[in-house]
Structure 1
Amino acid sequence: MFHGSMVALVTPMHDDGAVDEAALERLVEFHVDNGTDAIVAVGTTGESATLDYDEHCYVMRRVVEMVRGRTAVIGGTGANSTWEAIKLTRCAMEGGCDAALLVTPYYNKPTQEGLYQHFKAVSEAVPIPQILYNVPGRTACDILPETVERLAGISNIVGIKEASGSVARAEDILERCGDRLDVFCGEDAKNLALMLAGAKGCISVTANVAPSQMHQMCTAALSGDREEAERIDARLAALHKALFVETNPIPVKWAVHKMGFCGEGIRLPLTRLSDQHHETVLQAMKLAGCL
């Protein structure tokens, strides 16, 4: 259903933290023009943790309106409250999103049975296609392959963004349920390895800065052109690393600002990129052909 380079879009903000709608539209056009295969609105990189409910729904709806059917839109709707996740997922569906991306519940550390019941409840309450999102390094919650296998039996759970950092983990999920559920890489440094192992694409931070290159790399990898995919990914390697010198989305928001798409606005408790990292990010952008 979804494939290729899917950008985990930043949410541009003014200096006071208000959403910058004009900059958001510039970014959407940038991604459409450069072949991004899907836009994820208000995921982790889009600062979902600090946008309130109304803002969250508004940004998802506005991205859909700005895209005008030219690429897929996936709304980030995960929460550590099942009720809130249902409410946000319904908002994504009513706003016209093609799918929802649901991160594992963070902080409250549910059991595997709790995770199964959480995602099952959301899928039953809202019929939109849903993609699970596993990123234990941020959530302190790890959805295990056997639980993913159980959830793969639910018709509108169509994929998982796997960001544990383990290629072996992704291969396990693919072996268990690759015919029923698509795997997407959620860690840019592992994108190529996971696609060569059978993943259908990636949900990428790097794509904010290098959308054309990411699209081309994914296209090559998915078509079996390993040599071309490796050539492109080698140019992106420094960028994959540099965009995580501080907590995401701090570096990528600064990079998008340096490209002229938006200001430096970011919401507390996140702060702007430290001066000591500016040159590292700039050099990686130059190597990737973004500046």
Structure 2
Amino acid sequence: MTPLLRARRQTYTPLLSPFNDGRIDLSEFEAAIDRQIIAEVDGIVVCDVIGEGPVLGSDEHQSLLKTAVSHGRPHLSVIAATGTNCTAKTVERCRRAEELGADALLVTVPYYSKPTLKGVINHFREITAAVGIPVIVDDDPGRTAKDYGSALVDALAEIDPVVGICHGAGRLEHFAALPASLRDRFMHLSRDDRKLMEFLDLGGHGALSALANIIPSPVQTMVAMAERGSGCHSLLQAMSVSSAAVGGDDVAALKEAQFFLHQSPAEVRLPLVDAEPETILRVRHAFAPFARCEPLTREAA
């Protein structure tokens, strides 16, 4: 598929990585992809932080990406999350993802080492020079511990293969303050499900929605309604409650919600741990309006 067309607003889902007894469960991963296809989302992101990418081995990264490409095509665009805080390692991952058939790359601003803006821009110049597919920059200061402000977006505009910016939680005002030229230069996606409608109302182009793992059709519906300039208060309220219940992007809580609605395993890998009993109960209460099956018997403990 040709990803990242801005003829309309779009929904991308950073897929959770299902584990069974410590190993990737590819059959569950395929089932998750099927749910995205049925919901008619635009694409999926593989091995993102929501998919516990930092704790996946190289072979697991490749296995998940191969499965996403073979099972998701031609219905979904497949975006590979390949970023690290090491330029050489990131370039290697990006090249491999392109070889395996990714349509585009999601690459985080380098984290932990807090490089200067010049260092960040050189990082992305090295990456884009090494591959021939589009790059989306994941700008989430809450995770990288460094906020470069609009200067980053302005500098990235000089790198043609960078086609999109993914804005982390709490970045609504930052996006709103961008000049029209920078809004038009990139496809702007929001990670913040709780502020998604506000982001779209301000001219955002779509969502990178963790919540779409659990309720892809409602998320896609919300994005489509924003495209038409309409809204549904009851759906917006239900989604807001659901997003709050999983802490926006709490992977353990998201996996509990996915288990509740879709019977997908809720196992996580250290340093993440299983959701607490009170979190499980809160998740089940919040997602009950979306349930399409009989209540499950698993104990919240």
TM over 0.5: yes
Q: Is the 8 A contact 1:153 1:180 kept in 2?
A: no
Match of 1:248 in 2: 250
Match of 2:296 in 1: none
Match of 1:84 in 2: 89
Is 1:217 the equivalent of 2:217? no
AA at the equivalent of 1:127:
G
Q: Is the 8 A contact 2:252 2:266 kept in 1?
A: no
Question: What is the CA distance between 1:248 and its match in structure 2?
Answer: 2.2
Match of 1:139 in 2: 144
| Alignment size in residue pairs | 287
Look up the SS of the partner of 1:169 in the other structure. helix
Aligned CA-pair RMSD: 1.7
Match of 1:237 in 2: 240
Question: What is the CA distance between 1:40 and its match in structure 2?
Answer: 0.7
Equivalent residues in 2 for 1:170-185, closer than 5 Å: 170-173=175-178, 175-185=180-190
Match of 1:130 in 2: 135
2: distance between equivalents of 1:156 and 1:231? 40
2: distance between equivalents of 1:269 and 1:114? 29
- More deviation, 253-262/191-200: 253-262
Cα distance per residue 1:228-287 (max 9 Å; x no partner): 3x4422220111111118x72111111112223422221111111111211110111013
Equivalent residue for 1:51, pick from 52, 56, 69: 56
Match of 1:263 in 2: 265
Question: What is the CA distance between 1:182 and its match in structure 2?
Answer: 1.2
2: distance between equivalents of 1:174 and 1:35? 32
Percent identical among aligned pairs is 28
Match of 1:275 in 2: 277
Cα distance per residue 1:137-158 (max 9 Å; x no partner): 1221224212211112222100
1: distance between equivalents of 2:242 and 2:117? 35
Equivalent residue for 1:186, pick from 188, 191, 200: 191
Look up the SS of the partner of 2:125 in the other structure. helix
AA at the equivalent of 2:81:
G
Change (3 A) 1:190 1:200: same
Equivalent residue for 1:12, pick from 15, 18, 25: 18
AA at the equivalent of 1:111:
T
Equivalent residues in 2 for 1:18-97, closer than 5 Å: 18-97=23-102
Q: Is the 8 A contact 1:50 1:267 kept in 2?
A: yes
Question: What is the CA distance between 1:223 and its match in structure 2?
Answer: 2.4
Query: Which 5+ residue runs of structure 2 have no aligned equivalent?
Result: 294-301
Question: What is the CA distance between 1:168 and its match in structure 2?
Answer: 1.6
Cα distance per residue 1:8-58 (max 9 Å; x no partner): 11000112x210011001111111011221111110100011002221122
Change (3 A) 1:274 1:72: same
Look up the SS of the partner of 1:69 in the other structure. coil
Equivalent residues in 2 for 1:90-105, closer than 5 Å: 90-105=95-110
